[in-house]
Structure 1
Amino acid sequence: MKSVRIIFALAAAWGFLALVPGLFGEAGARPEYYYGFIGLALVFQLIFVMIAIDPVRYRPLVPIAILEKLAFFLPVTWLYWQGRVAMGAVFFGAMVDGLFMLLFALAWFLGRPRSRPGKAG
């Protein structure tokens, strides 16, 4: 469980470091979308903290955390392939999310319940 704790603690730390400065940036033409995205992403960092604190209890949230990472990684990757996103901060952030997505899947695997000898299931 230690590796699961580390993965989610690192994801939360990275997320806070990457997202909080965005609260002080330019929101663009649709500030409600911009700040809504930042706010929702910051809330998810708290979920990562919860998982890091008690991975066994919050294991059912891990697949949702994987989807959270996929929700940014996939569209940015697709937009990059279409030439609509440049290789820069947004692209780099999406690639980090893709890495954490894979690490979360590893954490899901590592955190699976172990069957006891002599027990069915």
Structure 2
Amino acid sequence: MKFVRIIFALAAAFGFLALIPGLFVEAGGGSSPVIAGPEYYYGFTALALVFQLIFVMIAFDPDRYHPLIPIAILEKLSFFLPVTILYAQDRVAMGPVFYGAMIDGLFMLLFALAWWLSRKAGQAS
């Protein structure tokens, strides 16, 4: 279960570090980009931040929150897959959004591995 704890703790830490600055993009003034559809942008960011709390819960008690791991996998897939498709259609450039989606894809695979390994560990008990 140590692997599960580490993966989910890393995912939560990365998520907080990547998402929180996005809440202050407009407040930066000057060269800050204008956000089209701010309700979608901030809604996405807030929801993603809430999921970081779920990752923290899983990291603290993987046995208890094991049923949430497949949902966490879907959370990562929900950003990775659309961005990958949009990139293939030349609708997303290789840049911060693309790289963020690739990191989510990596965490998605690590979450799946953590779920599989923790499932096998639960059967051995």
CA distance in 1, matches of 2:35, 2:102: 23
Tell me the residue number matched to 1:12: 12
Q: How does 1:78-97 map to 2 (within 5 A)?
A: 78-97=85-104
Q: Deviations over 1:82-109 (max 9, x none)?
A: 0000000000000000000000000001
Q: Percent identity?
A: 78
What is the TM-score of this pair, normalised by structure 2? 0.90
1:114 aligned to 2:123? yes
What is the TM-score of this pair, normalised by structure 1? 0.93
Q: Deviations over 1:58-79 (max 9, x none)?
A: 0000000000000000000000
Q: How does 1:1-121 map to 2 (within 5 A)?
A: 1-26=1-26, 28-112=35-119, 113-115=122-124
Question: Number of aligned pairs?
Answer: 116
13-22 vs 25-34, which deviates more?
25-34
Tell me the residue number matched to 1:119: none
- Shift in Å, 1:115: 3.5
Runs of 4+ off more than 4 Å: none
CA distance in 2, matches of 1:24, 1:105: 32
- Shift in Å, 1:114: 2.2
- Shift in Å, 1:110: 1.1
What is the RMSD of the two structures over their aligned residues, measured on CA atoms?
0.9
CA distance in 1, matches of 2:124, 2:93: 47
CA distance in 2, matches of 1:46, 1:104: 15
CA distance in 2, matches of 1:29, 1:9: 32
Q: Which amino acid aligns with 1:53?
A: F
